[in-house]
């Protein structure tokens, strides 16, 4: 399994309000609602922590779910957000300023 | 990108007097210059109550009228290149320089093109000062403004039509939210919906914002700030997907919700709903 790194796109406006996250794509003003698990992944998307580690340390630690199932769900989620242009996914760490390694999507 | 018309040409105005109509919405006067007397009269009629010939214009537009053509039902396209905004639709092309606050519109002599241009310009001017335009009805009761937002069919026109005496309807279609030093205020607009009536030209501080839903009984339900922000943004007029602008309006919506009371208003379409308001 190749490792995945995820980072929030710079073309996004987001705010946590009363523990709920509101995300808007600055590209087309689409609004996104995230579940509790998805919010956890979104908030951990620092470009440096591998997705497998986010799943293991945050999702599996918090919810009663097997690592394989959690990872598959997380992978599908990040790919979906990447398709909407609000999350970047790469096989290499993504530096904060976006320079260096180019994200795959 | 160019629309083929030049904003800089505005500086070279002929010495003969050019007719114009100054339309003041939300306390922001926009001077529309045209040498066509019939067109100016049409503007004065359409925006009656919002014409202020004595106002110092915040923005000016030179209007070039073209031969009549079929009205366009496509969405307006709005983009920015540096400090210049470009607006276009089948029935008009315009550009507006944010720095000089001057622009030019080339359109057919119909009232709909300039109406759209005004909505776009006001949305851009408001965004600069943390305000916005919203698909919503709004009304003033006892000195407080109440805003009723919702998708098409949610009841904006219905609630406006049911407004009892003593309630001034600001609009049944496009609400005007402006941040002032003393807080947020709602302003009347001439942008009419199904009610086909221009709003009252007055303003008031916000009492509350309601997100409309039709139901069997009237009731007000609390909602979280996140739900309110999403509902607000869903009904905000975004003419452009300019990244900077979208971010700014997003932040404005978050701040607005943190300062103004918001709730869901479930209502049955009769006058009794107004007992819950104000």
Name which of B226, B238, B243 is nearest A22 (Cβ-Cβ): B226
Is the pLDDT assigned to residue B11 strictly greater than 80? no
% of chain B beyond a pLDDT of 70: 93
Residue finishing a domain among B97, B128, B159: B128
Name which of A18, A25, A31 is nearest B224 (Cβ-Cβ): A18
Task: Judge whether B2 lies within some domain.
Answer: no
- The residue among A11 and A55 whose pLDDT is bigger is A55
Give the integer Cα–Cα distance in Å for B197 and B192. Answer: 6
Chain A nearest-CA distance from B13, in A, is 38
Strand partners, B176: B133, B187
Encoded tokens for B67: 């031969």
Place of tokens 């995230």: A34
What is the CA angle A50-A55-A61, rounded to 5?
135
Report the complex ipTM.
Answer: 0.79
Q: Residues for chain B: how many in total?
A: 278
Task: Judge whether B3 lies within some domain.
Answer: no
Tell me which residue range forms the domain holding B248.
132-276
Residue finishing a domain among B128, B152, B169: B128
Which of A10, A11, A12, A13 is best to mutate for the B interface (most B CBs within 10 A)? A13
Which of A18, A26, A31 is best to mutate for the B interface (most B CBs within 10 A)? A26
Q: How many domains is chain B partitioned into structurally?
A: 2
Please indicate whether, in this complex, the C-beta atoms of B229 and A29 are within 8 angstroms of each other: no
- Is B43 found in the same domain as B168? no
Q: Is A12 helix (H, G, I), strand (E, B) or coil?
A: strand
Task: Judge whether B65 lies within some domain.
Answer: yes
**What confidence category does residue B1 fall into, taking pLDDT thresholds of 50, 70 and 90?**
very low
- The residue among B153 and B50 whose pLDDT is bigger is B50
Domains of chain A as residue ranges with CATH: 5-90 (1.10.10)
- Is B240 found in the same domain as B188? yes
**Residue pair B87/B96 in contact by the 8 Å Cβ criterion:** yes
Please indicate whether, in this complex, the C-beta atoms of A13 and B246 are within 8 angstroms of each other: yes
Please give the model's pTM, rounded to 2 decimal places. Answer: 0.87
Where residue B191 sits, what CATH number does that domain have? 3.90.228.20
Place of tokens 């496509």: B74
Strand partners, B132: B177
Encoded tokens for A104: 């795959």
User: Within 10 A of B140 (CB to CB), how many other CB atoms are there?
Assistant: 23
Give the integer Cα–Cα distance in Å for B50 and B198. Answer: 9
Taking the Cβ of residue B250 and every Cβ of chain A, the question of whether any pair is shorter than 8 Å is answered with: yes
User: Within 10 A of B251 (CB to CB), how many other CB atoms are there?
Assistant: 13
**What confidence category does residue B176 fall into, taking pLDDT thresholds of 50, 70 and 90?**
very high
């Amino acid at each position: 399994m190749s490792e995945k790194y995820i980072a929030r796109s710079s073309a996004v406006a987001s705010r946590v309000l009363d523990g709920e996250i509101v995300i808007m794509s600055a590209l087309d003003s689409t609004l996104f609602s995230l579940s509790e698990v998805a919010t956890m992944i979104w908030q951990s998307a620092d470009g440096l922590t591998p997705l497998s580690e986010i799943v293991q340390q945050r999702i599996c630690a918090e919810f009663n779910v097997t690592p394989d199932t959690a990872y598959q769900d997380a992978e599908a989620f990040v790919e979906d957000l990447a398709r909407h242009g609000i999350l970047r996914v790469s096989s290499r760490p993504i530096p904060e300023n976006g320079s260096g390694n180019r994200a795959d999507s | 990108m160019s629309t083929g018309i030049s904003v800089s040409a505005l500086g070279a105005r002929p010495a003969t007097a050019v007719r114009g109509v100054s339309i003041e919405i939300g306390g922001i006067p926009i001077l529309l210059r045209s040498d066509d007397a019939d067109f100016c009269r049409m503007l004065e009629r359409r925006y009656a109550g919002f014409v202020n010939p004595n106002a110092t214009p915040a923005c000016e537009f030179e209007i070039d009228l073209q031969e009549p053509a079929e009205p366009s039902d496509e969405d307006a396209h709005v983009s920015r290149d540096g400090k210049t905004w470009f607006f276009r639709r089948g029935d008009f092309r315009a550009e507006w320089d944010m720095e000089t606050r001057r622009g030019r519109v080339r359109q057919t002599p119909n009232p709909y093109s300039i109406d759209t241009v005004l909505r776009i310009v006001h949305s851009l001017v408001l965004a600069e000062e943390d305000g916005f335009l919203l698909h919503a009805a709004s009304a003033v009761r006892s000195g407080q403004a109440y805003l009723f937002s919702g998708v098409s069919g949610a009841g904006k026109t219905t609630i406006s039509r049911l407004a009892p005496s003593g309630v001034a309807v600001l609009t049944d279609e496009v609400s005007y939210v402006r941040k002032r030093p003393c807080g947020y205020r709602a302003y009347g607009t001439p942008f009419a919906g199904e009610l086909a009536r221009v709003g009252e030209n007055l303003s008031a501080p916000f009492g509350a914002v309601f997100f409309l839903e039709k139901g069997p009984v009237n009731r007000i339900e609390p909602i979280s700030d996140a739900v309110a922000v999403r509902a607000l943004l869903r009904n905000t007029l975004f003419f452009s997907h300019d990244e900077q602008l979208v971010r700014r309006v997003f932040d404005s919506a978050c701040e607005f919700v943190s300062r103004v009371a918001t709730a869901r208003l479930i209502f049955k379409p009769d006058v009794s709903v107004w007992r819950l308001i104000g």
